């Protein structure tokens, strides 16, 4: 049987000399478009299978970063809302996965205040914060030394007949940008929003691929179902491993280096002055800088 790579090289645009190894990234999706536990578990298993696409620190447990991007498990969070002493409303639900500075309790509280204030100013109700359970026994010394406080904020959005999911998602994007800018203005380090969405949620961190669902016990809950799951094992080459740089990001996961990051930022900055985002209208300034 002919090697498929040879066939591609002689009959297509494939060139084996351009091959290079970097991060491990993949996608699992339900062909029928229905959310299932199988999709989430398959993504967890697939992530374990690409462990070799990431690096391991000398401590044997600190990885370059691994994570999972899945649909928001609404039933799971409805129970979490009840456990917080609230009654889930028929409104759309939004959840933010947040990294907070773990060792600076003052900065931690300031971040929570900023997050809550911006959400309330946007006209939404906060059910409360949820401390995400984690198993720190599976992470190394370096990951532990830089580990953030990981919490989720649960938000009651608009009623479904008052605002579409697209509109609520857009609002949550504006809320996130306002929060991020306010935290930067407060000169607080160690704050990062992994995801803030009514559709999806991101679980990630500086652990080995095999440890994702151990570090985050949430992920073994059978109510974690999804139509699609993006998984990522990072191989850090031109940047240092950091919790917030683990992937997937909020909207994507990529394989390889982006050596033009500074150029991309400068290009976008130079074009923002003439940017007129019809979708955001008078709120366009809230999303700048875009990168």
Distance CA 28, CA 44 (A): 10
Residue-averaged pLDDT of the chain: 84
Q: What are phi and psi of 22, to 5 degrees?
A: -150, -140
CA–CA dist 103, 116 (Å, integer): 21
Q: Which tens digits make up the pLDDT trace of 169-206?
A: 999 999 999 999 999 999 999 999 999 999 999 999 98
Task: Decide if 98 contacts 152 (C-beta within 8 A).
Answer: yes
Residue spans in the chain of domains classed CATH 3.60.20.10: 23-257
pLDDT, position 147: 93
| Half-sphere exposure of residue 30: CA atoms within 13 angstroms, side-chain side | 16
Q: Which residue has the higher pLDDT, 119 or 247?
A: 119
For the segment 278-290, the average pLDDT, to the nearest whole number, is 70
Q: Which of 23, 111, 194, 198 is catalytic?
A: 23
- pLDDT (0 to 100) of residue 1: 46
Give the pLDDT confidence score for residue 256 in this predicted structure: 61
Alpha-carbon gap, residue 92 to 157, rounded angstroms: 5
Which is higher by pLDDT, 268 or 58? 268
CATH match for 23-257 among 3.60.20.10, 3.90.1150.10, 3.10.20.340, 3.10.180.10: 3.60.20.10
Q: Is 111 annotated as catalytic?
A: no
| Segment 102-106 mean pLDDT | 94
Residue 2, pLDDT > 70, answer no
- Give the full edge-to-edge strand order of the sheet including 228-233: 24-29, 228-233, 66-71, 200-205
DSSP line for 228-280: EEEEEE---SSS---GGG-S--SS----S--TTHHHHHHHHHHHHTT---TTT
For the entire predicted model, the pTM comes to 0.83
User: Which pLDDT score, from 0 to 100, does residue 77 have?
Assistant: 97
**Per-residue pLDDT, 84:** 87
What are φ and ψ of residue 100, in 5° steps?
Answer: -115, 155
pLDDT value at residue 242: 80
Pair of tokens at residue 275? 């940017």
Please determine, for residue 69, whether its predicted confidence score (pLDDT) is greater than 50: yes
Residue 204: phi and psi, rounded to 5, are: -155, 170
Which candidate, 256, 229, 204, 245, places its Cα nearest to that of 39?
A: 229
> pLDDT for 70-79, tens place per residue?
999 999 999 9
Please write the tens of the pLDDT for every residue from 160-170.
Answer: 889 999 999 99
What dihedral do alpha carbons 246, 251, 254, 260 form, nearest 10°? -90
Per-residue CA distances from 133 to 54, 63, 136, 199, 281 (Å):
25, 20, 10, 21, 39
Cβ neighbour number for residue 143 with a 10 Å cutoff: 24
SS3 content of the chain, % helix, strand, coil (to 5): 40, 20, 40
């Amino acid at each position: 049987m002919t090697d498929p790579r040879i066939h591609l090289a002689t009959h297509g645009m494939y060139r084996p000399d351009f091959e290079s190894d970097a991060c491990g990234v993949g996608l699992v999706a339900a062909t029928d478009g229905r959310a299932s536990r199988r999709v989430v578990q398959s993504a967890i298993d697939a992530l374990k299978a690409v462990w070799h696409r990431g690096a391991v620190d000398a401590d044997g447990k600190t990885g370059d970063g691994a994570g999972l991007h899945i649909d928001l498990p609404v039933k799971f969070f409805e129970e979490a809302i009840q456990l917080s002493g609230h009654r889930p409303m028929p409104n759309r639900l939004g959840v933010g996965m947040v990294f907070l500075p773990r060792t600076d309790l003052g900065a931690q509280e300031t971040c929570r205040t900023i997050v809550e204030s911006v959400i309330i100013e946007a006209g939404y109700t906060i059910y409360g914060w949820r401390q995400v359970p984690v198993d720190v026994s599976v992470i190394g010394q370096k990951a532990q030394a830089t580990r953030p406080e990981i919490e989720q904020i649960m938000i009651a959005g608009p009623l479904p007949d008052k605002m579409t999911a697209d509109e609520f998602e857009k609002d949550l994007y504006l809320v996130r940008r306002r929060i991020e800018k306010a935290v930067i203005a407060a000169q607080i380090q160690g704050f990062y929003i992994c995801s803030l969405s009514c559709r999806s949620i991101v679980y990630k961190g500086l652990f080995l691929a095999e440890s994702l669902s151990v570090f985050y016990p949430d992920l073994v809950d059978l109510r974690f179902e999804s139509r699609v799951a993006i998984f990522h094992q990072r191989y850090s080459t031109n940047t240092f491993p950091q919790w917030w740089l683990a992937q997937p990001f909020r909207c994507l996961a990529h394989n390889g280096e982006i050596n033009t990051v500074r150029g991309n930022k400068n290009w976008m900055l130079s074009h923002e002055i003439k940017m007129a985002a019809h979708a955001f209208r008078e709120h366009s300034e809230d999303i700048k800088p875009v990168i």
